[in-house]
């Protein structure tokens, strides 16, 4: 049995950003699908107003998160790698059900496995930016232009709506998969506890951070 060491792996802002982002995405989905007439909860006008306010909150959070990632060097966590990528995919598909050992070890300098790096990078540089841009097009061009987006050479909002809705489904799919994967740590609640407290048990022999020594 390998020795473990308790490591403060998730900083305060990182945890705040993670949970706030999750809540905002869920609230944006809740109000967004009401705007699409999937159900009635707040009422259309209130749902639009709440959705727009939450969207601005999300954008502000993104700005602070970008600043934090750059100034702390945490952006390096998302640099993609193919090392152990195949093994990681096989682990999630079959290995996890055979109680196979995890192919990659989490450290302070490498919190994400190869598959997580690719998925999270895709979210940050593709899906979320597309959601923000398409959402801003709705806010600033739909009502003043009576559904026309002449300034960017788009005849109507249909394609924007389809892209925005597709992005919403992708984000919801990610959240569902993410909720499942947080149970795949060395205990069913270890990943969740780590994102709440910041502390996590890591194997001592893989903890690359004899950090500030």
Round to whole Å and give the CA distance between 200 and 10: 9
Residue 55 belongs to some domain of the structure: yes
Query: Confidence class of residue 181 from pLDDT cuts 50, 70 and 90?
Result: confident
Q: What is the CATH number of the domain that holds 74?
A: 1.20.950.20
Quickly count: other Cβ atoms within 10 Å of residue 19's Cβ.
12
Residue 212 belongs to some domain of the structure: no
Residue 146 belongs to some domain of the structure: yes
Residue 137 belongs to some domain of the structure: yes
Round to whole Å and give the CA distance between 27 and 55: 10
pTM of the model: 0.84
| Number of domains within the chain | 1
Residue 211 belongs to some domain of the structure: no
Coil/strand/helix, residue 141: helix
pLDDT of residue 157: 77
Residue 13 belongs to some domain of the structure: yes
Query: Confidence class of residue 188 from pLDDT cuts 50, 70 and 90?
Result: confident
Which of 46, 71, 58 is closest to 136 using CA atoms? 58
What's the domain range around 141? 4-206
Residue 151 belongs to some domain of the structure: yes
Across the range 77-85, mean pLDDT stands at 94
Residue 213 belongs to some domain of the structure: no
Contact present, 164 and 136 (Cβ < 8 Å):
no
pLDDT of residue 48: 92
Q: 150 or 16, which is more confident?
A: 16
**81-85, 86-90, 135-139, 188-192: lowest mean pLDDT where?**
135-139
Which of 12, 129, 116, 115 is closest to 59 using CA atoms? 129
């Amino acid at each position: 049995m390998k020795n473990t060491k308790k490591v403060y792996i998730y900083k305060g802002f990182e945890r705040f950003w993670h949970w706030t982002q999750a809540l905002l995405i869920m609230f944006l989905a809740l109000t967004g699908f009401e705007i699409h007439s999937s159900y009635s909860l707040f009422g259309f006008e209130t749902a639009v107003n709440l959705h727009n306010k939450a969207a601005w909150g999300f954008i502000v959070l993104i700005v602070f998160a970008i600043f934090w990632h750059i100034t702390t060097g945490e952006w390096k966590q998302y640099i993609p790698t193919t090392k152990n990528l195949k093994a990681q995919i096989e682990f999630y598909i079959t290995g996890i059900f055979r109680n196979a050992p995890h192919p990659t070890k989490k450290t302070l300098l490498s919190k994400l496995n190869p598959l997580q790096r690719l998925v999270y990078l895709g979210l940050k540089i593709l899906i979320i930016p597309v959601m923000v841009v398409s959402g801003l097009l709705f806010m600033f061009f739909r009502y003043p232009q009576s559904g026309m987006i002449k300034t960017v050479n788009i005849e109507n909002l249909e394609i924007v709506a389809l892209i925005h809705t597709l992005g919403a489904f992708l984000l919801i799919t990610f959240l569902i998969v993410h909720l499942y994967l947080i149970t795949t740590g060395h205990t069913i609640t270890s990943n969740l506890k780590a994102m709440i407290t910041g502390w996590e048990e890591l194997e001592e022999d893989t903890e690359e951070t004899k950090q500030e020594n």
